[in-house]
Structure 1
Amino acid sequence: MIKKSIVFAAFDEEYVATIEFKLAKLTEERASIEFITDAGCLEAFLERPKKIDVLILPYGIMLPHPEAFSKTSIYYLTEEEMDAENPAYIYKYYSVKRMLEKIDSGLITEAESEKGTKVVGVFSASGGTGKTITALTLAHKLMKKGKRVIYISTVPYQDFTYYIDDASVLGTAFCYQCSINIKNALKIIQDEIKNEGFDFLPSFKNLPVSYQMKFSVYSQIVDYLRDKNIYDYIVVELSSELEADKLVFLKNCDWKVLLTTQDKIAVGKLEALLSNMLDFDRNILILCNRYKYNQPDFLSGAQLLQKYEFSEFIEEYNAPLDLEMTKNSQLFDRTILCME
C-alpha cells in the first residue's frame, strides 16, 4: 500500500506533542506525517513545495504559490468551530479520529477503541486546585461531543451545586439505604439521577459522614453504573485525602486527571504521590490549574513531566471560574483531546 504524505503545520508545540502519537497510531502504515512547528520553516516549505497529498495549515496562512498545490488537499486548522460543514476547516480540538475522518476515513487503521463505560478520576494531592470545576467542565465537554456522561462527587463536602442550576438532593430512602444496604440503594438509583446536560448524582441532603458513608459505597455505585454500560464516561471527583481504597479506585480508573498548581508544595505532593504509586503509569494526565505567569513555576521543570503526559495550563482569572465560563471557552479542551 502506498502511504499518503501529510504535512501538518501548527505553531503550538504542546498541542503537537498531544496529537502526534495518536495520529501515528491511528494511521500506522497508511500515512507518513511531517510536523512543522516553526513559522520560518513553514514559510521556507511553502516557497519550495514538494509533492504531498495533504497539507494542514494554521488558519490565516496564505499560500504564496497556490498552483504548486493544485493536487494537494488543503485544510485549515481553526481555533474556533467556524463552520463545521466547510470541508476545508478542521477545528483544532476535534478528536484525532474525527480529524482523520474529515480528511480521509481510509487513513484510519486502528480498530475503534473498546466499547464500554470509561471512568475518569479527577484527583489532587493538594487542596484548592479546582477539582470541582474541572470535573464538571470535563463532564459538560464530553457531553457536547455526543457522549453519555454522568458526574459523581465523592468529596465530604459536596459543594458542586454552587456551579449548576439544579439544587436537588438525594432522597431520604436512598441515603438511608446507602448507610445500611448499598444493594437496595442501587435498585432505586435511576430515580435519583438528575440532568444538567450531563447526568449527575445529586448531593446528600446532609454531609455524607452523617450517613456513615464510606468510600467503598461510592466505589460500588460507580461499579454498578459501569457494569450497566449506560454511559460512555463516568467522571468521578475525588477528595484529596489519601486512603488505601481511594488509591485502588484511582489506579483502576481508565483516565486519571491529576491536578496541581505551580507552587513548590503542590508539585512536591504530586511528585511524592507518583513516586509511591509506581503502577500509576497508565493514562495519567497532569493538569495545572490557577497558573500565574508572575509567580515561580515549579511544575514546568519537574521530572514527573518527563514520564507523564501533561495536558494543559489553566490560567488564574481575576474572578473564580464558573461552569458558564468554562463550558463556553476552550479551557480543558486539550485534556478532553488527550482522553479521546
Structure 2
Amino acid sequence: MNKISLVLLTKDSSYANYFSNFMISSNIKEKFSSKIFTDTDSFKKNTRNQKQHILLTDLEVDNECSVSFDKVISLSEEQIMVPDELKTSIYKYQPFHELLSQVLAIYYEMNGKLSSVINGKEKEKVISFFSGNGGVGKSLLSLCLAKHLSMNDKRVFYLNLEELHNTYLYFKQDRPSSAEVFYYLKKNKNQLIANIESLKSRDSLTNIDYFALPVLPEEMQIATEENIESLIQAIRDTQNYDYIIVDLDSSIHERNRSALKNSDEIFWILSSNETSFSSSDSLLANDLVGLGNDRSNIHFILNNVGEALFDGFDSFNFSIETHIRFNIRYLGRSEETKLMEDTVIGEQLFKLLKENAVHSSEVSQQWQ
C-alpha cells in the first residue's frame, strides 16, 4: 500500500515525542509515512526539493518551507469552531487519532479521492451478492466467501446494504453503532473516508471488518445511487482491503443498481425452484437492475440443490458455474454456527473469481 507522506514541524519536543510514539504504536502508520522535526534548519535541509503530501506545524512557515507540500495544516493552540470548508487549522491538543482523522478529511476535501493523492493502481475487488428473490441463502454464502478470504490472509470488508439486514446473526459481539455512516454520506463524503477506521468494527472470530449498523430501513430506502457509489469508493480509497463483499437484497432499488454497477464481479444466487429462476429471468430480461446485456462479470450460483430440479429447468438460459448442495446438518443450526463450521462453500466460491486460472462449470450432466 502506498502511504501519504506526513511531516510534523514543531519546537515542542514533548509533543513531538508523544506524536512519534503514537505513530509507531497505532494502526494509523499503515496510512502515513511520517517524519518529525523540532529544528527548522534540519527541516529545511531534509525536505527541500522533495515532494511531500502534508506539513503539520504549530510554527509560522514561509513559502520556502511550504512549497514542497501539497497541503499545510496549522496546529492551533486554541479550539476554534470553523466551518469544515474553510478549515486550514486544527486543534493541537486533542487525541491523536481524532487529530489525524481531521488531517485526512482536510486533505481529501482539497484533493478529492485518495486515488488522486497516491500513485498506484487500485487493487481492491468489489464483489456483490444478489438474487432475484429473498430466502435463497445469499447472506450466508457471501460471508462464507468473506471468511475464506480472511482466513487466507486477505483483508476483507463486508458491506451489507439490505433494507432489513441480519448481520447481527453472524457477528454477535456487541459493537458501537456505525450509524454515523449515513450522516457522512449526506453531509460530508470526504470526512467519511477519514472516519471509516473509527466507524468500522472487526469480528474477532473471522477478522472481517464491517459496519455495525442498526436495522434502519428508512435510511436504506432514501439512499441514492450517488450515496452508494460514494460509500463503496470511500472503502476502496482507504486502500486497507483486498476484497469488499457487498450483500444486497432482491429489490430493484437504486442503491442495488449502483452497487452492481460498481462491482468487479457479481455472484447471482439462484435457489433450486421455479420461482427463483423466473424472478431472476425477468430482472435480467427487462434490465431492471441496470446490467444491460453484458453478463461477463456475473457468476450464477445454484444454492441448496437437492436430488432433482423442477420441471422446466431446461427452459431457462442461465450459465450456472457451480451448485451448492443442500446440507441437512444446517437444520436447526444458528447462522453464526453455519458460517463458522463452513470449510467447503467459501472455497467453492473462491475458485470462481476471475483472478483464479481455472474456471469450470460444475453443473451435473443430468441437469444440462
TM-score bracket, normalised by the shorter chain, equals 0.5 to 0.7
1:1-340 superposed matches below 5 A:
116-171=123-178, 173-196=180-203, 197-210=206-219, 213-216=222-225, 217-244=227-254, 246-275=256-285, 276=287, 277-293=291-307, 296=310, 299=313, 301-305=314-318, 308-317=319-328, 318-319=331-332, 322-327=335-340, 328-339=342-353, 340=356
* SS across alignment from 1:256: strand
With over 3 angstroms needed to count, the CA separation of the structure-2 counterparts of 1:243 and 1:179, relative to structure 1, is same
**Cα gap change, 1:278 to 1:321, in 2 (>3 Å):** farther
Query: In the comparison of the two structures, how many residue pairs are matched?
Result: 224
Distance of 1:125 and 1:329 partners within structure 2:
26
Deviations 1:237-278 (A, max 9, x none): 011111345224313311100011111111011122233344
Q: For residue 214 of structure 1, what is the amino acid of its counterpart?
A: A
| Structure 1 length-normalised TM | 0.58
Unaligned ranges ≥5, structure 1: 1-113
Counterpart code for 2:263 = C
Q: Is the 8 A contact 2:228 2:258 kept in 1?
A: no
Residue type matched to 1:281 in 2? R
Using the TM superposition, name which of 135-144 and 159-168 deviates more.
159-168
Residues 175 and 211 of structure 1 are in contact (CA less than 8 Å); yes or no, is this contact kept in structure 2?
A: no
3-state SS of 1:183 partner: helix
Query: Secondary structure of the residue that 1:177 maps to in structure 2?
Result: helix
| C-alpha contact (below 8 Å) 1:124/1:240 kept by paired residues | yes
Q: CA deviation at 1:236?
A: 0.2
- Secondary structure (helix, strand or coil) at the match of 1:158 reads coil
CA contact (8 A) 1:123 1:256 kept: yes
Aligned mates of 2:311, 2:327 — CA distance in 1: 13
TM norm structure 2? 0.54
Q: Deviations over 1:197-245 (max 9, x none)?
A: 3333223235152587504323311111223322110000011111345
- 2:211 maps to amino acid: P
Runs (5+) with no aligned partner, structure 2: 1-120, 357-368
Contact in 2 for aligned 1:178/1:185 (Cα 8 Å): yes
Contact kept, 8 Å, 1:193 with 1:200, in 2: the verdict is yes
Q: Matches of 2:250 and 2:151 in 1, distance apart?
A: 28
Q: Give the distance between the partners of 2:240 and 2:311, measured in 1 at CA.
A: 41
SS in 2 for 1:188: helix
The superposition leaves residues 7-49 of structure 1 with CA deviations (integer Å, 9 ceiling, x where unpaired) of xxxxxxxxxxxxxxxxxxxxxxxxxxxxxxxxxxxxxxxxxxx
Contact 2:130 2:138 in 1 (8 A): yes
Q: Is the 8 A contact 1:154 1:236 kept in 2?
A: yes
